[in-house]
């Protein structure tokens, strides 16, 4: 009996040892998993930090490509030279136009702009600052004719709903700027055909279509037919707008070259211009070039696209008004006695020296 008890106690002690071993093994496994998890998390955090740093470097590398291309384009425009397209990453353009590019920014760290493309006849023109100073848009089709031009413009407000406060009708819409509460401006555009020769001031005047496109909160048109000069019955038009933007098609066109002057009254807007020949998008030359630059930092890539003018500027370099002043203007007339009666009562004697007798 005593031998049996002794053997039993020995077995119990052996089992306690096994339980201790199993407990230790489980703890080792758990601790190992925790350590591996922390190591993985640390590596992931480190990689994310590195990726952010490389992404910033790649972005600046892409910007360097944009600036290098803009400098070449600006120099060519200032010299009156044509701007060459760049259709491939290794293309140097006509006559080696882009041969002077230096894409390697930091070769030891693998930072460069790996691909730079330039499209001098895009199918979409983009403008980010249509405001009270008019923007001049030359439009020449690379092939075919313009049958329709589409204007899309968006509000630059960062809060609220742009259509809130917009008119519901285009009748008697013009008011003081302080009373305008719509997030969109009234878009004025002057469209004139410029194809062919023999143009005179009379033909330009008769061919010019002038339209004030009023953004409406409800209803409104989505298209308008081209009509120039005295035949233009579409000089004031309510346009359908949503909180995402306004859009208007100008139809009934037939030429391959037009000039457009665009102004936004009350509010500055961004705008895109596209055109079609029937159902085919038209490539527009002479207005803008799209520079597409891809920056690379080791294995991280960033890509940027910008639109740049192919002229000295897109802004009108002449006054948009017959008279422009930051002060009050006094008009005085000197005419034959008894032929014209003009009273300046209440004006003569003001502090404006132009109004002094």
- Nearest 10 degrees: CA dihedral of 215, 220, 225, 231? -80
Is residue 29 assigned to a domain?
Answer: no
Closest CA to 89 of 312, 301, 340: 301
Please, what is the average pLDDT of the chain?
Answer: 85
Q: Quick check: 152 and 246 in contact, CB under 8 A?
A: yes
Query: Which pLDDT value is given to residue 347?
Result: 46
Is residue 299 assigned to a domain?
Answer: no
Domain containing residue 195: 121-285
| 278 phi-psi bin (left φ>0, alpha ψ -120 to 50, beta other) | left
- Tell whether the model's pLDDT for residue 271 goes beyond 60: yes
Is residue 333 assigned to a domain?
Answer: no
Is residue 279 assigned to a domain?
Answer: yes
Residue 282, both tokens: 């038209």
Q: Work out whether strand 148-155 and strand 104-106 pair parallel, antiparallel, or are unpaired.
A: unpaired
Across the strands, what pairs with 104?
A: 112
DSSP character string of 96-119:
GTTTT---EEEGGGTEEEEEEEEE
Residue 127, both tokens: 């403008």
Q: Quick check: 143 and 270 in contact, CB under 8 A?
A: no
- What's the distance, CA 267 to chain centroid? 16
Is residue 32 assigned to a domain?
Answer: no
| pTM of structure | 0.76
Which stretch of 96-105, 225-234, 256-265 has the lowest confidence by average pLDDT?
Answer: 225-234
Please give the angle made by the CA atoms of 91, 97 and 98, to the nearest 5 degrees. Answer: 55
Which residues neighbour 224 within 8 Å (Cβ) at sequence distance 6 or greater? 211, 234, 237, 248, 249, 250, 251
Q: How many residues are listed for the chain in this entry?
A: 357
Q: Work out whether strand 245-251 and strand 223-225 pair parallel, antiparallel, or are unpaired.
A: parallel
270: domain CATH number? 2.60.120
How many structural domains does the chain have?
1
Q: Work out whether strand 209-216 and strand 236-242 pair parallel, antiparallel, or are unpaired.
A: parallel
Rounded CA gap, 238 and 170, in Å?
5
Query: Which pLDDT value is given to residue 348?
Result: 46
DSSP character string of 242-311:
ETTEEEEEEE----SEEEEEEEEESS-EEEEEEEEETTEEPPEESSEEEEEEEEEETTEEEEEEEEEESS
* pLDDT, tens only, 73-112: 999 999 989 999 999 999 999 999 999 899 999 988 899 9
* pLDDT, tens only, 286-307: 999 999 999 999 889 999 999 9
Is residue 356 assigned to a domain?
Answer: no
Query: Which pLDDT value is given to residue 344?
Result: 46
Residue 249: count other Cβ atoms within 10 Å of its Cβ. Answer: 17
Is residue 190 assigned to a domain?
Answer: yes
Is residue 52 assigned to a domain?
Answer: no
């Amino acid at each position: 009996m005593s031998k049996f008890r002794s053997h039993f106690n020995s077995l119990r002690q052996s089992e306690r040892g096994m339980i201790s071993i199993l407990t230790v093994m489980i703890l080792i496994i758990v601790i190992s998993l925790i350590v591996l998890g922390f190591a993985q998390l640390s590596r992931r955090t480190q990689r994310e930090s590195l990726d952010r740093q490389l992404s910033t470097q790649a972005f600046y590398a892409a910007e360097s490509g944009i600036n290098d291309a803009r400098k070449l384009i600006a120099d060519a425009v200032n010299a009156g030279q044509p701007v060459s397209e760049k259709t491939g990453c290794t293309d140097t353009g006509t006559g080696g136009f882009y041969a002077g590019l230096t894409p390697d920014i930091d070769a030891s760290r693998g930072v460069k702009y790996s691909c730079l493309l330039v499209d001098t006849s895009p199918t979409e023109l983009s403008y980010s600052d249509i405001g009270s100073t008019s923007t001049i848009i030359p439009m020449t089709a690379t092939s075919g004719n313009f049958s329709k031009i589409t204007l899309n413009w968006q509000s630059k407000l960062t809060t609220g709903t742009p259509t809130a406060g917009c008119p519901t009708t285009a009748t008697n819409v013009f008011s003081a700027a302080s009373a305008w509460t719509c997030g969109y401006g009234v878009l004025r555009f002057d469209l004139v055909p410029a194809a062919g020769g023999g143009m005179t001031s009379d033909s330009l005047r008769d061919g010019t279509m002038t339209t004030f496109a009023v953004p409406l909160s409800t209803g409104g048109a989505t298209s308008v037919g081209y009509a120039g000069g005295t035949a233009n019955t579409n000089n004031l038009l309510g346009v359908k707008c949503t909180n995402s933007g306004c859009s208007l098609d100008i139809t009934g066109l037939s030429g391959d070259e037009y000039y457009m002057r665009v102004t936004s009254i009350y509010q500055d807007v961004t705008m895109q211009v596209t055109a079609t020949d029937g159902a085919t998008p038209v490539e527009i030359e002479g207005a803008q070039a799209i520079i597409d630059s891809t920056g690379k930092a080791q294995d991280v890539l960033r890509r940027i696209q910008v639109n740049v003018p192919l002229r000295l500027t897109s802004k009108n370099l002449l006054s948009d008004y017959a008279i422009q002043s930051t002060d009050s203007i006094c008009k005085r007339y000197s005419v034959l006695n008894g032929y014209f009666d003009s009273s300046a009562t209440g004006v003569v004697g003001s502090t404006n020296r132009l109004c002094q007798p």
